Structure 1
Amino acid sequence: MAVHDAVSDVLLRVDGRWPVSAAAREFAAAGVPVFPCVPGAKRPLTEHGFHDASTDLARVDAWWRQHPGANIGLPTGATSGAVVVDVDVHGPVNGFEALNRARRAGLVNGWMFTVTSPSGGLHAYYPATPDTAQPSWQAARAGIDFRGDGGYIIIPPSAVVIYGASTPYALRQINTGPASTIDSGGLRDFLDPRPEPRRFNPPGQVRDRDVSRIAAWVATRGEGERNRGLFWAACRLAESGVAPSDALDVLTAAAGHAGLSEREVTTTVRSAYRAVHPPPRAAAASRADGFARPVPVASGLQGRGLS
């Protein structure tokens, strides 16, 4: 059986009979940074969350002496050398359907090991890509999250209380073959493709089919993706020469369907237009450095709360 990295090596030895304190020490001794989370839950107990993760045995022992039943948190990404595809099952969303589509497309092969989560989902661990940023992201509609740089995961033998019962994370399978890195960006594009609108020509004239496609995409954003999706859509409209007032007309209803208030929509669209068309003061600063020509300010920024 191949030993892919320190995390899977420890999991081969640790099982549900181990106290979490002993397992946490075993991970730290193997060079895997860990930190404590609330017993039976996922919230970090340390002041700076996963940023406090450590392999220092004295520090780890002190944490678990203070919180003997604390769950074990593992920072994902370059810090630990492991990234995770987190498959969720909740309500009408079944992430296994999207995972199977991604598997058939060859996008999720090469995992090191898998863990069954207390909710019935799955955590598939992969080696982090060396010298390459792999930020965490969510694809809520697909029921899949990616835990990479800037994220963390709860690892066995931790347990979460669901409906009053303590349910553990459990090692499901170790890959006996070669492990490989995962194209996290390609996986996200596959699970949650973003529309690529054509440029509007001439500027300022809106083609209904392009704008409708963007609005429909915004309307389907789930929690955790709504603001980012709206900002992206507003930037695309700004780059295409759509007036801010028209962008608000198009995006307010769509983003409202996704759960955002009119005030949130106005603030986000304003930020997007200012990012694409900096105000005169920013343009003047660029000219002073000698690197940029003046950038015209989009018309229509006054009114409707966009100034």
Structure 2
Amino acid sequence: MVTPDVLTGVWARAADASSFSGAAREFADAGVPVFPCVPGGKRPLTGHGFRDATTDGGQVSAWWRQHPQANIGVPTGVASGVVVVDVDVHGPIDGFTAFGRAQEAGLVDGWQLLVSTPTGGMHAYYPATPGGGQRSWQAARAGIDCRGEGGYIVAPPSVVAGERGRAPYRVRRINTDPVKPLDDRRLRDFLDPRPTPATRPTGHVREVNAERLAGWVAGRPEGERNRGLFWAACRLAENGIPPVDTYAALAPAAEHAGLTAREVSATIRSAYRTTGPAPRTPAGSPSEEPRRSVQQASGRLLS
């Protein structure tokens, strides 16, 4: 894992690179794995997304020769040495409010650098815990996501086209004070406190493994993504899981598979509107494992 001081320098140099290929090589040469994303977007161009990330200079050069304007994806967690808190701004949700509250509580200190995102939000980078364990999750109502194991981010100087036009990711500030790993579990509990789940009577709907469902959704190929997400969301809805918890469990996986945030929200809403008799199981669906609480697994994704 790349050390924090090296990482800070890498991000600064990559942000100043004159081309996306040059920035990608800066990351790879420093030991930070990268993979290409669609020009102007966040969807991976590789078959297995962030799992195809590499530091092999030859492969990196070949990718960007084929796609010179490809954005730069970086897996989060131990692979790259960074965990990222993603502050979103969309519609009535302003993640900066929640981030400010977390800052007052001392839960988001110790960041390495801050990056402005094309939509007006922010990425706060923290050193990953050497042993791993920092997972990706979403606190949708707070406008905050955490990108850890099983996640990825798009790095500067990538450019994304949105409603405001094309805009780049820009390094906003570099911390010269000591940095420290993020306690992502405390942050999630602070932003999205969860009540103790009520005990359901025996003989109720079989509980499902949300982690397994999320991993399965993340692997759905094009043409199967919406149907797979719908099926998985129905399984959680049948177990009485609130929509916000289903979104937190499945949305990161569905977005990694290639769905947009809007598609994910619409599909999950549809699942909750239509849940009743169990829909037909799509080909290749995972088995539902009993005796594993979905509430305990709902925030965890396969790494």
For the structure 1 residues 267 and 54, does the alpha-carbon distance in structure 2 shift closer, same or farther, using more than 3 Å as the test?
same
Residue 225, structure 1, aligned to residue 236, structure 2: no
User: Structure 2: any 5+ residue segments left out of the alignment?
Assistant: 204-239, 252-267, 280-285, 293-303
Q: Deviations over 1:99-128 (max 9, x none)?
A: 111111111110000100000000000001
- Structure 1 partner of 2:230: none
- Structure 1 partner of 2:272: 261
8 Å contact kept, 1:219–1:258 = no
8 Å contact kept, 1:136–1:149 = yes
Q: Deviations over 1:66-110 (max 9, x none)?
A: 000000000000111111000000001001111111111111110
- Partner amino acid for 2:272? S
For the structure 1 residues 55 and 226, does the alpha-carbon distance in structure 2 shift closer, same or farther, using more than 3 Å as the test?
closer
Residue 67, structure 1, aligned to residue 67, structure 2: yes
- Structure 1 partner of 2:111: 111
Residue 53, structure 1, aligned to residue 35, structure 2: no
For the structure 1 residues 218 and 100, does the alpha-carbon distance in structure 2 shift closer, same or farther, using more than 3 Å as the test?
farther
For residues 99-248 of structure 1, the aligned pairs below 5 Å read 99-163=99-163, 165-197=165-197, 221=244, 224-225=247-248
| In structure 1, distance between residues paired with 2:46 and 2:152 | 13
| In structure 2, distance between residues paired with 1:14 and 1:78 | 20
Q: Deviations over 1:208-256 (max 9, x none)?
A: xxxxxxxxx965627723779xxxxxxxxxxxxxxxxxxxxxxxxxxxx
8 Å contact kept, 2:156–2:168 = yes
Greater relative contact order (CA < 8 Å, ≥ 6 in sequence): 2
CA displacement at 1:16 relative to structure 2? 5.1
TM-score normalised over the length of structure 1: 0.68
Flag the structure with larger Rg. Answer: 1
| In structure 2, distance between residues paired with 1:198 and 1:47 | 41
- Structure 2 partner of 1:39: 39
For the structure 1 residues 203 and 223, does the alpha-carbon distance in structure 2 shift closer, same or farther, using more than 3 Å as the test?
closer
For the structure 1 residues 128 and 142, does the alpha-carbon distance in structure 2 shift closer, same or farther, using more than 3 Å as the test?
same
CA displacement at 1:134 relative to structure 2? 1.3
Aligned length: 233
- Partner amino acid for 2:271? L
Residue 275, structure 1, aligned to residue 281, structure 2: no
| In structure 2, distance between residues paired with 1:25 and 1:145 | 27
CA displacement at 1:54 relative to structure 2? 0.7
Question: Any idea what SS the aligned residue of 1:77 has?
Answer: coil
| In structure 1, distance between residues paired with 2:125 and 2:107 | 13
Q: Percent identity?
A: 54
CA displacement at 1:163 relative to structure 2? 3.1
